[in-house]
Amino acid sequence: MGRIITVISGKGGVGKSTFSANAAVFLSKLNKRILLVDADINLNNLDLIMGIQDQIIFNASDVVHKRCNAGKAIIKNVFDGLDFFPGSINPGDDPTEVVAGICELLKELKGDYDIILIDCPSGVDSTVRALAKISDASIVVTTPDLTAIRDANRAAILVYGEKTEDVRLVVNRVRPKLIEKGLAPDIDEIIDNTEVQLLGLIPEDIKIQIYSNKGILAHQVKKSRSAKAFENISQRITGQEVPLYKFW
């Protein structure tokens, strides 16, 4: 039976989708069967980050409303062992109904995958709560900004409230020089304020932004600083006892 892991944040734009896409690829490279789910049904964009937008015909809303079955909506083997389930809502469809339908479907699909990784919308609303209810674990993503850190804590409180036992923190866009100069909160401070145990760190990496616009992920980029970080975090997700990847 696979594990369902939600990727949440509180504050928007901190890198949940970037993290989900890259972690999913590295998890599949570890021979895990992965279903990557775009659950940001109103503002979905994970297909663009994955560079597979042209392959999408049906979405989660079509499955929930029985316009097609899940097998038709899921894009198979985006990378070896990695399937993609596109979220998005069609005009007129009820979002609450679609989210409830996605949750039921993911529970059924648990047996087919090692990990179902869900890229959630930002915020702490009913969608995130519904997804947290079916999750075995949550990864809270934050940047080293006070505003994001506070919202990450609120997101963590939400998932702790839903009895998610395994909650871990990813700090994205880390700039060691700013930390050294005391111009950004240090990692211990971020852990204390989010009240979440650390899973990993991802550096600020201009290549992420540049290549993301072309649908190219970190593992495809030569000398990518962030690829090592995504790989390290993926190893730690699967329980490998590897030390935290430090890029400074």
Distance CA 207, CA 137 (A): 29
Q: Which residues bind ligand ATP (CB under 6 A)?
A: 9, 12-18, 40, 122, 172-173, 202, 204-205, 208-209, 212, 226
Contact criterion met (CB below 8 Å) for 59 and 138: no
Per CB under 5 A, the list member of 17, 143, 164, 172 interacting with Mg ion is: 17
9 binds, among ligand ATP, Mg ion, none (CB under 5 to 8 A by kind): ligand ATP
How far is the CA of 35 from the CAs of 44, 56, 124, 227, in angstroms?
Answer: 16, 15, 23, 20
Q: Closest-CB residue for Mg ion? A: 17
Decide whether 40 or 231 has the Cβ nearer to ligand ATP.
40
- Interface of this chain with Mg ion, residues 42 to 101, rule: CB under 5 A: none
Length of the chain: 248
Decide whether 187 or 217 has the Cβ nearer to Mg ion.
217
Q: Are strands 115-119 and 3-8 parallel, antiparallel or unpaired?
A: parallel
The runs of H, that is alpha helices, within the chain are 16-29, 46-50, 60-64, 70-73, 95-109, 126-133, 146-161, 176-180, 187-194, 206-212, 225-237
Decide whether 17 or 194 has the Cβ nearer to Mg ion.
17
151 binds, among Mg ion, ligand ATP, none (CB under 5 to 8 A by kind): none
173 binds, among ligand ATP, Mg ion, none (CB under 5 to 8 A by kind): ligand ATP
Decide whether 78 or 217 has the Cβ nearer to ligand ATP.
217
Assigned token pair, 215: 């649908």
Distance CA 127, CA 94 (A): 12
187 binds, among ligand ATP, Mg ion, none (CB under 5 to 8 A by kind): none
| 13 Cβ contact list (under 8 Å, min separation 6) | 122
Residue 142 found at the interface with Mg ion (CB under 5 A): no
Least separation in angstroms between residue 68's CB and ligand ATP is: 25
Decide whether 12 or 161 has the Cβ nearer to ligand ATP.
12
Sheet holding 197-203, edge to edge: 75-79, 82-85, 34-38, 115-119, 3-8, 137-142, 166-174, 197-203
Least separation in angstroms between residue 143's CB and ligand ATP is: 8
Decide whether 68 or 210 has the Cβ nearer to ligand ATP.
210
Contact residues for Mg ion (CB under 5 A)?
16-17
